[in-house]
A and B are shown apart, each in its own frame.
Chain A
């Protein structure tokens, strides 16, 4: 009987050991899971790097972009000179009965900026305005023209019934 009591007492005295063992086991389990999850992430990183290496999307797109840039550079001078000359040719064709006094063209990388000075002479202000409206409409119909704006407050009188208008706008390089 005493021996049994003693064994029971000994077992009861061991509970802190079991408690620590359980706590340590749980810790171990958690750390093992963490380790395995870290390995999984490393594996996915490796997979991703391999994918980027074997199927390089960004590099391919960058190379193609460079190709188109270089190509644009080679074609740019001719595109600009043709677009400029053709634009002046078309404007000159749509200007009458207004008189085209000056054309200014500022080509940019993506389009042309232009400023036209036109004169309406020997007609009344209402006729001049009507002719200008027709001119602006025709100008907007030019295939390459993207923007037309009658700048300033209105016509500048030049004496003897002549009125001068300034028209600004933008046109595409390759219509």
Chain B
């Protein structure tokens, strides 16, 4: 009789232990594990909130004046870019502008496109350009990659396109340098891609390949290339720069200025 009671008690104790073990294994352990994970997650969020608060404290949020300045920027860029009726029209615009800028020197300046032969222009210059032709063609090919200043979607929206243009000239060095300095002052906004200059006895000769950015009338091969994000050098921006933490002061924001070179012979 006693053996039977003891056996039953043991069986009950075993069953009770099994039940406790089942609770522990199937419910308590996963729950406690989850609680630990949730505690860590809560600490993470607390830290994030604290860090964000500290970062926000070091940042000057835009004022109304700065917001207005930021909003105007895109329209300023759009206004600065020439809008042309055709790809050829841009070249015509750049040519007219350059020749007008080279007052009295128009005969000494020769303009050419990527696919044009270099057999026109002043005789002395023509022979030199023939010798330089392989280098010029190579620079033209390299001038195509576009800058990563605008994201592809904006390039598509604004129909941005760019094309290279070559020019060569043979004039006295001071005048040549002034011409180079003023090359970007016009509406065509020519960017120098490459310059080769050779000072001679009394004059200097040079050839340049420039690039112009403009707004194309419609989708073209040149604008699509930009939109695909094909680009050479990327403009580097430091996301941790303290400049980005400060408000842009409209009065201190550097302007786009036309700067003349110092007169020839000025010591530096």
Using a CB–CB cutoff of 8 Å, the interface residues on chain A facing chain B are: 16, 19-20, 23, 26-27, 30-31, 33-34, 37-38, 40-41, 44-45, 47-48, 51-52, 55, 57, 60-61, 63-78, 80-82, 84-86, 88-90, 92-93, 100-110, 143
Expressed in whole angstroms, the minimum distance between the Cβ of A175 and any Cβ of chain B is 10
- Complex interface: chain B residues within 8 A of A106 (CB): 193-194
Interface residues on B, range: 35 or more
**Additional 14 contacts, C-beta under 8 A, given A102-B198, A109-B235:** A27-B23, A27-B28, A27-B31, A31-B31, A41-B41, A51-B53, A61-B244, A64-B244, A71-B254, A73-B77, A81-B181, A90-B268, A104-B194, A106-B193
Q: Is the CB of A52 within 8 A of B52?
A: yes
Q: Is the CB of B184 within 8 A of A78?
A: yes
B221 at the interface (CB under 8 A from A): no
24 contacts between A and B (CB under 8 A): A20-B19, A41-B41, A41-B42, A44-B42, A44-B46, A51-B53, A64-B243, A66-B73, A67-B69, A70-B149, A72-B149, A72-B235, A74-B76, A74-B256, A81-B182, A84-B180, A89-B262, A90-B268, A92-B173, A103-B198, A105-B194, A105-B195, A105-B197, A107-B193
| Contact (A57, B49) CB under 8 Å given A67-B248, A103-B196 | no
Q: Is the CB of B31 within 8 A of A48?
A: no
Q: Is the CB of B178 within 8 A of A85?
A: yes
Q: Which of B55-63, B84-92, B115-123 contacts A (4 or more CB under 8 A)?
A: B55-63
A-B interface, 9 closest residue pairs, ranked by CB to CB distance from nearest:
A77-B184, A44-B45, A85-B181, A37-B38, A85-B180, A81-B184, A30-B31, A55-B56, A61-B244
Q: Is the CB of B35 within 8 A of A37?
A: yes
- Complex interface: chain A residues within 8 A of B20 (CB): 19, 23
Shortest Cβ distance from A33 into B: residue: B35
How far, in angstroms, from A41 to B41 measured CA to CA in the complex? 7
**Beta-carbon contacts under 8 Å, B213-244 to A:** 233-237, 239, 243-244
Expressed in whole angstroms, the minimum distance between the Cβ of B8 and any Cβ of chain A is 12
How far, in angstroms, from A103 to B180 measured CA to CA in the complex? 13
| Contact (A60, B62) CB under 8 Å given A78-B185, A81-B184, A85-B181 | yes
B261 at the interface (CB under 8 A from A): yes
How far, in angstroms, from A108 to B147 measured CA to CA in the complex? 10
B102 at the interface (CB under 8 A from A): no
Prevailing SS type, chain A contact patch: helix
B202 at the interface (CB under 8 A from A): no
B80 at the interface (CB under 8 A from A): yes
Q: Is the CB of A109 within 8 A of B268?
A: no
| Contact (A34, B35) CB under 8 Å given A88-B177, A102-B197, A103-B197 | yes
Shortest Cβ distance from B234 into A: residue: A109
Q: Is the CB of B258 within 8 A of A34?
A: no
A57's contact among B52, B73, B194, B196, by CB below 8 Å, is which? B52
Interface string of B72-114 (1 = CB under 8 A from A): 0110110010000000000000000000000000000000000
